[in-house]
Chain A
């Protein structure tokens, strides 16, 4: 039922090239989920998230030191330097962390594209004036886009872009709802394929695929022991190998029922509420969405959000991860760990890198699962 999403994800570059040929449209890469996708969609552009391939590239070391730069960004930049993304017409970044920022600037300097834009998304999601600030930045971005594509982006275009993305996020959430069941009808691996494929394909096409899934999903029969219900918390999760190991290869059964990652629910949790000022509407959505830890201050909004998800999805154990050298997530993980300990929820913290030591991780995951069993 979900194989199609996995296939498109696996063959994302071929998909993008084929989309370009088919539609004559432009493709713009983005690094972070705070990128302004709705205006890009409104402009008839295909926004694709630049992700790594879990392959090292020796070309990155000239620009970002391997003992400083976040492993996800080095992997993603590496794919660019290796030519995987040569079809991109532009790149865009919504300011979040320095690592994605550095990856953007290095890309812009060394892999020239027709269009590049660094959107100054506020770091704060709580400070006075942030919503207006971002709306004005969107207006500047829209103008730059219009200059590039040579036509105006109208309110109707923006409405279409907003509607496409709202539909996309809503359908993802609807499918995710089936993971709340005692025997979830969607595995974590499938959910990752679903959510991540949306970030690399035309959302309208993704919406159609999801519509088909939603028609069949209620009747799905699962032939697996769901086991321990796990939540995965972290940043960008593109590691299918890891998800599959947890759900299908451990000696004890487990299912990843929900996540707080930016390739999952955190990115898809809320919608744009239409209003006359479309750019303000988009700004409000990005300001109010569950925040990246980089933007989660002074009051913590992320932890109540995580607790809400744990309750809604009946989570029994948690895997926390951060990419190597990712400070925002390292900082939050230490605090989340303490909260989980206070709640008596078994948890495990792992550090992801471009390639993960799957055997060693399996030992850790199994050990955590074993803490939930009472044999002796």
Chain B
């Protein structure tokens, strides 16, 4: 434990375990066929646990897959270039180009940076219509690799508790299960599915507890660290080990809050952001912490990504959505479980806030988070690699700034490092902090 001028700080005990979790999962996915298992590639919006009824499935979240490609800059650029050579516009979704790129090159990269000589063709793929291109992403991916797929339609998930929506989503979930059974030629075991969904709900609910703890001053976690902890929920939410991990994490974070352990010892300015970070340039977080004691305490992205939330009474603060189990929703059959899952996940979770056509509530959500997580300022990522997230960015910035919380937008890209200009990004932050009288901590 080291002492800083302002707060005590210590590394997260579970960080190493989180890293191992990720590495092991990527390896398991890559080696699935060798080990007689199936590979499922699923967009992390709603459909991971949908496949948990397949006993032999290793399910990879498409977004963690893509983010990993983006993180490894050189490989990421190759992925971009091969897509562009095939006529894909540079403006297209960065994540889709990461995965297509891996597919076109038939290569992949592990979290530790080891190159793989095949990209990991799935046996089945599924995606949700989060953004204009999510389902098109998978359509192209599966056309090129001849992969059977099921693409879900998620029309509009707000206001909550829309019966028509839940019925529609449930029907699609059941249809997906049947399609997947036919495609992979293996039975879908309802008991595994029910258990998997319950585990997911519990793990997601636990994440909301953890996120709420980060409202504490000093913040026990910084957002960059949180990115390591979201992986289990995004890749194996159905696994009981994930829920156990989340409980451990909650306990550790609670302990840090109780003892006043900070993520950033010199925390003097709390920031929120909004969207997927610039994965090729995560060092910007450490720049903010080191130079200005500025800690990113949360964002609609990391808070909602693997937790389910709602506005209390549709007007008030952001609170965790009660779970189906809390509400006594039956989950004894495939149909009941599918319905409960769709109901639960149709609240603000993963990218549903963005799917809600950005402008309806995203700015309000961002402002609520800024207030509830006690932010002193906002630095929102105008993410060129993701229209879905960036489109509402200005309105979010306006809402936060008009509420008296200084807020800027900075340009970047979640996947394409060629769009990232670190010099100018740092300069923008320097100006922001100077304008807000935040003392620079280094000479």
Contacts and interface: CB of A to CB of B under 8 A. Distances in A.
Interface stretch (A48-56, A122-130, A204-212): A122-130
A123 B387 contact: no
B394 A65 contact: yes
A124 to B, nearest CB: 4
A98 B393 contact: no
Interface stretch (B16-24, B64-72, B134-142, B200-208): B134-142
A364 interface: no
Given A69-B391, A334-B89, A327 B133 contact: yes
Interface in B349-386: 354, 357-360, 382, 384
B153 A338 contact: no
Interface stretch (B52-60, B168-176, B248-256): B168-176
Contacts of A99: 132, 387, 391
Given A102-B358, A298-B139, A331 B149 contact: no
B393 A65 contact: yes
A293 interface: yes
A128 B338 CA distance: 15
Contact of B136 (A121, A140, A297): A297
B167 A129 contact: yes
- Interface SS, A side: helix
A136 interface: yes
A327 B132 contact: yes
Interface string B42-84: 0000000000000000000000000000000000000000000
Interface in A316-342: 324-325, 327-328, 330-332, 334-335, 337-338
B156 A338 contact: no
A291 to B, nearest CB: 12
Contacts of A128: 171-172, 175
Interface in A85-128: 95, 97-99, 101-102, 104-106, 108-109, 118, 120-124, 127-128
Contacts of B398: 62-63
A64 B363 CA distance: 13
A248 to B, nearest CB: 30
A331 B359 CA distance: 24
Contacts of A105: 357-360, 395
B326 interface: no
A133 interface: yes
B395 A136 contact: no
B357 A98 contact: yes
A17 to B, nearest CB: 28
A222 interface: no
A101 B155 contact: no
Contacts of B150: 298
A324 B89 CA distance: 10
Interface string A277-319: 0000000000000000110011010000000000000000000
Given A98-B131, A120-B155, A294-B132, 20 more contacts: A68-B390, A95-B357, A97-B132, A98-B354, A99-B132, A102-B359, A105-B359, A118-B156, A118-B357, A121-B155, A122-B168, A124-B151, A127-B153, A127-B172, A128-B172, A297-B151, A327-B89, A328-B132, A337-B87, A338-B87
A-B complex: 10 closest residue pairs judged by Cβ atoms: A105-B359, A101-B357, A124-B153, A120-B156, A123-B129, A129-B171, A120-B155, A334-B87, A133-B168, A330-B89
26 contacts: A63-B398, A65-B390, A68-B382, A68-B384, A95-B155, A95-B357, A97-B132, A98-B131, A98-B388, A102-B358, A108-B359, A120-B156, A122-B168, A124-B151, A127-B151, A127-B152, A127-B175, A129-B171, A130-B168, A133-B155, A133-B168, A328-B136, A330-B88, A331-B136, A334-B89, A337-B87
